[in-house]
Structure 1
């Protein structure tokens, strides 16, 4: 890995930790702030809302600044807001700090993806972007279990202070290791918003929100699936989540290699089709411990294989608004998070059991796959007409 990509990986680690550790320390926060767990769950929604709002707004505001300065500013905001979360005296202040902590998430990954693609060698753009997303997967292997353990045994406030320290380290890495890059073209909100006048970015956003919703329909309810259906002990869940995290890391690295060789749109369609298969197999083997462990690893690997190719797709469809487009795709992932969790919960509420969200996830992944196929044929048609014009 190029050392210049290290700050992007470190930033991905910090962002992944603050996003996913909430699921592990939610009971501790609820108890400390004297609220119920369902009410504490709104803190997760507040962060996701911050991602959706912050991605286009912050990139639109900062678009005319050099990428290095934008990343420094975003990580400074991330660090400050997570530090504030550690001192939040009540639920209302915590809601505000979680919303603010989510604002730089999408913008950092969006700008970081553009920077990584510029730093990459020719034909290796997806691999470079996957190194940034590797931070997310490492967070699920190391950061989230560690933060959860500290939250349980010491204080959840210390967990957020550690996240703030990761932010400071990332800022130092950006300052020292990331090269200066010129602003490409002149950016303004009116020009960048023309991105949404084209069909392809909307189709890719649909792939992201609907297709990746399949991942979250599975992952949101993995704990009750493991305990209530497969019969694992609750004390074993942390270790199984680490297994899923290792799968995510492997899949993320594989995705960049595949996308650079068969094209991002083919890789996206392939991985979504494989996700359909994985989720259906999870449903079938869910009562059996060993097969379910194998599929937990496999499903984690396939689900995180979508990040790099989708980012490349959106950048190439941006018509010059690459930072905004890349950031908007991160908002799409968080819409997928909300959709997958909500729709996956409906069959459980209807009494169909904790394995039933796999069917919802498979349907969402299949719909995303169909959209990817539509984009593939649309791109082929455009290339065909371009050849005729020449």
Structure 2
């Protein structure tokens, strides 16, 4: 358990780095005398470096010992954010964030592979849930604390120092407290690894993850607009509602791990996507007051994040010898979905109106359900079993 908690701290650091910057853009723009749009390059720098380097790093380092990679990844994440915190201009700050993204790319897929390597297969769900909870908890605790700290003192750099401190603590913990982690002994050729990634089961899960995250983060990115009837433009009300979303996401992640180990991944994914799609369709009529809005937000946070655990479980089960690679690709799918959600939501809002955002989000989660069901039918036919999803 202690080893999993240290890995979860690393995930918490990455999540805080990913989500904290969105709340610091006005302060950063003012400090560099630039527009908020230019300051948003700080978000893109981390996400792009992270998403592009993650599958490459996972492939190149698949035959290396896990522990040194984990320590180096967290160390680079810390150093990158120290660079950003000390940056005299936007270019240096962006370079630091990109370096931090590289560190996160080294850490995350290896952390997922390590989490399944240190427990028996029947506990994979709970193991993955614990480290994924570190990521979801960052939305409820890490990022809000970083934003509150920075805005209270009027200095966006404090958010960068917070990430550096978290990553530094994780690196020290990994280096001093983490015992060597078992990994497959056989050397694996890159060609064989990539062939295992091309399995329909793997590609289907990656597609499901992509569409799930597009749908979920259309709502997240434009939450201030979608929840306007409930918040009346009050930032503190929005912050409380999104904190409720983050708490539900963390609880959902933990719960999904146990349910996946008990019932398997398929019913959790299918049921979750059905409920999430219905929730998004009903969102416009359930957000007329802050009290009522807590319910659909809790369902959204809990279900969306809970689906990620069984999806990861299926990836590792489908390609156990390539766990770090498929989990890396899955994380890239997550970040690609988050990135695409902003542009898709902008187009929908400008073309049709913001009242259609949650309906489009539901369309993407329904599409995720369709992709998952299709792949499951293909897999079932190949194994001679029958499925109804």
User: How does 1:133-152 map onto structure 2 within 5 Å?
Assistant: 133-152=132-151
Match of 1:62? 61
CA contact (8 A) 2:237 2:290 kept: no
Match of 1:375? 375
Match of 1:25? 24
User: How does 1:188-199 map onto structure 2 within 5 Å?
Assistant: 188-199=189-200
Match of 1:179? 179
Match of 1:358? 358
Residues 381 and 104 (structure 1), Cα distance of their counterparts in 2 relative to 1, 3 Å cut = farther
How far off is 1:33 after superposition?
Answer: 1.7
Deviations 1:88-117 (A, max 9, x none): 221222222222222233442221111111
Distance 2:307 2:28 in 1: 32
Deviations 1:4-59 (A, max 9, x none): 11111101111111100111111111111221112222221222211211211212
Distance 2:320 2:251 in 1: 32
How far off is 1:357 after superposition?
Answer: 1.4
Higher mean Cα deviation, 12-21 or 355-364?
A: 355-364
Distance 1:318 1:187 in 2: 13
CA RMSD of aligned residues (A): 1.9
For structure 2, the 5+ residue unaligned runs are none
Distance 1:351 1:39 in 2: 27
Distance 1:259 1:372 in 2: 16
CA contact (8 A) 1:25 1:151 kept: yes
Residues 122 and 322 (structure 1), Cα distance of their counterparts in 2 relative to 1, 3 Å cut = closer
Match of 2:131? 132
CA contact (8 A) 2:112 2:323 kept: no
Match of 2:167? 167
Match of 1:388? none
How far off is 1:229 after superposition?
Answer: 6.1
For structure 1, the 5+ residue unaligned runs are 386-390
User: How does 1:257-272 map onto structure 2 within 5 Å?
Assistant: 257-272=258-273
How far off is 1:232 after superposition?
Answer: 4.9
Deviations 1:148-167 (A, max 9, x none): 01211222112211211111
Distance 1:202 1:230 in 2: 40
Distance 2:103 2:325 in 1: 13
How far off is 1:221 after superposition?
Answer: 0.7
Residues 377 and 5 (structure 1), Cα distance of their counterparts in 2 relative to 1, 3 Å cut = same
Match of 1:156? 156
Distance 2:233 2:252 in 1: 25
Tell me the SS of whatever aligns to 2:83.
helix
CA contact (8 A) 2:73 2:105 kept: no
CA contact (8 A) 1:204 1:372 kept: yes
CA contact (8 A) 1:55 1:104 kept: no
Answering whether residue 277 of structure 2 is matched by residue 276 of structure 1, we say yes
Answering whether residue 118 of structure 2 is matched by residue 119 of structure 1, we say yes
Q: What is the number of equivalent residue pairs in this alignment? A: 383
Deviations 1:125-167 (A, max 9, x none): 1111110011122222221111101211222112211211111
Deviations 1:174-224 (A, max 9, x none): 123322124412134333322344333222211111122111011111122
**TM-score using structure 2 length:** 0.93
Residues 156 and 239 (structure 1), Cα distance of their counterparts in 2 relative to 1, 3 Å cut = same
CA contact (8 A) 2:6 2:174 kept: yes
**TM-score using structure 1 length:** 0.93
Tell me the SS of whatever aligns to 2:321.
coil
CA contact (8 A) 1:266 1:376 kept: no
- Consecutive aligned runs of 4 or more in structure 1 exceeding 3 Å deviation: 187-191, 227-230
Higher mean Cα deviation, 166-175 or 185-194?
A: 185-194
Distance 1:183 1:279 in 2: 41
User: How does 1:1-390 map onto structure 2 within 5 Å?
Assistant: 2-154=1-153, 155-184=155-184, 185-227=186-228, 230-318=231-319, 320-350=321-351, 352-353=353-354, 355-384=355-384
Distance 1:335 1:360 in 2: 17
How far off is 1:302 after superposition?
Answer: 0.9
CA contact (8 A) 2:213 2:338 kept: yes
